[in-house]
Structure 1
């Protein structure tokens, strides 16, 4: 009975490595082909660019677009790294294109916006259209007056009223 010679121990699984063509060496360490994989997606890394961060291996995509890449912030909306301009809103970081209205998906970079009770973000137009309180008398939305940022309303017995509709 012949046994195959062992090439050493795989640094990932600590098992012996046997057989030609079943192992690879990277960064001076020995791996089974099946153990030399991305820590995030388990894609095999042999014959591909890879990155080592704190002892973990990453394929190019997961290194560049995850928290493994430590030089940038991740977007709160899409989760990918922000490599250029960071938009800060509500204590979180976003790509400028990712900080957008829940309804129309228009970018809100540099624009006024509103939040609903679930912290969803709206442009002013869609907030007033879909979220603004409705007057119990006239059934129209209660909006700020032209040129104002303040909405005036009267709340009585859990119902909303325009100031001029409340009698």
Structure 2
């Protein structure tokens, strides 16, 4: 039997297509790229089909005061005409004495408030009854909320496990239960093609041969560069060779 150095004939490699990528990742000795997750960013905005301006859930707002004038708007609370100074908030007008927290009844005329389920609340009541808890810092989230991994996060708390930069509205990859940005995921975990040294990305066809992973288009004879996908090949100095160049000296 010839040694591999002198050109051992090996069976053609198996090409693994995109549809098998996820299955091949399980139980393989090396890491196979996994698809990026979908974007995790959410601001609880009102659906685009709504005519109401989108305001992020939990956004801290403040009513605007207007002096008495010839305007006679209707109060958003009692639906009566306002004759005198009034407040404007959430696109509606209010009697100053009727713009109060829905729970504790504190006046919101001159303080910040949060809208929730078509009602207004002072910051304290909103935080107590509605604000979600951040999975990282375990404090209440006031304002924009990041939804990821079945948990809620501050937008500044959901970060790459390696570089610690927030994901914002970017995609991310999961590895061992930790999220990674595209750059760090590729640098730390991606399988690189032995032929071109570029990552084998999710969806790429690849070949496992000679103890390495190759793009199907990179698995070629080291001498004449003919593609060896699905073909018997020889190996010399850890390089694939076609039958014609199996005994080539300069490899």
Using the size of structure 1 for normalisation, the TM-score is 0.47
Whichever structure has more strand as a proportion of its residues is 1
Find the structure with the greater CA-based Rg: 2
Using the size of structure 2 for normalisation, the TM-score is 0.33
Higher RCO (C-alpha 8 Å, min separation 6): 2
Whichever structure has more helix as a proportion of its residues is 2
